[in-house]
Structure 1
Amino acid sequence: MREIFKKSILILAIFVIWQVVCELEIFTQYILPSPIATFKTMYSMSLSGELATHTIISFKR
């Protein structure tokens, strides 16, 4: 149980640092999009079916 908590905190910290780096505009949005933008795009692509299509194509390579 304690290991799961530690791993969860680590993952959360990575996302927070990623978001802070994006908010500070250390890198352009083109090079490093924010996690919020990434998840929004992933969500919309999964609803449209694009995500599954692109994933299948990538696995066939």
Structure 2
Amino acid sequence: MNNLIEVDSLPEFDAAEFLDSPETIAAYLSEIILEDDAGLLASALGDIARAEGMTEIARKAGITREAL
């Protein structure tokens, strides 16, 4: 019996789907910061941006979406 799982058969995981409240986003970002990994932080910020919506983030920041 072969119990191996082929990685290519697994569904794509997108953390942005689960970042549905300010509290969840804060907890996620806090854990990422503890890892002290710039690449992971950049990826997490992308997750948060997708969860919030780039247009909304730009509006709140007072800049254009393209400037982000």
Q: Which structure dedicates a bigger proportion of its chain to helix?
A: 1
Choose between structure 1 and 2 for higher RCO, CA contacts under 8 A separated by at least 6 residues. Answer: 2
Length-normalised TM-score, structure 2: 0.28
Length-normalised TM-score, structure 1: 0.31
